[in-house]
Amino acid sequence: MIMSLTKEHFLKTIGKKIKTLREAKGLSQYALSDESGISRSQIVRLENGDLNCTLATLLVLAETLGVEPKDLLDV
C-alpha cells in the first residue's frame, strides 16, 4: 500500500537520511558543503526538511555521500 506522503513529511524524512549518512561518514555540515559544492545554509535547510531541492542537487549529495540517489529517498 503506497502511503500518501505529505510533501513536508517526505522532505523531513529525506533530510534525516542525509544527516544520518553525513554523520556516518564523520562529515560536518561544513565538510559536506566543501565536498559537494552545495552551500552550508542549503545543507542545513535540507537536513531540516525545509528545502525542496532539485534532482541535480540530490544527485550531487548522493555522490558526495557515496550512495545511490535512490538511497536518499529510501525513507
Interface with a copy of itself (CB under 8 A): 2, 4-5, 7, 10-11, 14, 52-56, 58-59, 62-63, 66-71, 73-75
Query: How far is Cα 36 from Cα 42, in angstroms, rounded to an integer?
Result: 11
- Report the residue number, 20 or 52, with the smaller CB distance to a copy of itself: 52
Query: How far is Cα 47 from Cα 43, in angstroms, rounded to an integer?
Result: 6
- Report the residue number, 8 or 34, with the smaller CB distance to a copy of itself: 8
Query: How far is Cα 51 from Cα 53, in angstroms, rounded to an integer?
Result: 6
Q: How far is the CB of 8 from a copy of itself (least distance, A)?
A: 10
Q: How far is the CB of 43 from a copy of itself (least distance, A)?
A: 15
Q: How far is the CB of 35 from a copy of itself (least distance, A)?
A: 14
36 is written with which cell numbers? 559537494
Query: How far is Cα 20 from Cα 23, in angstroms, rounded to an integer?
Result: 5
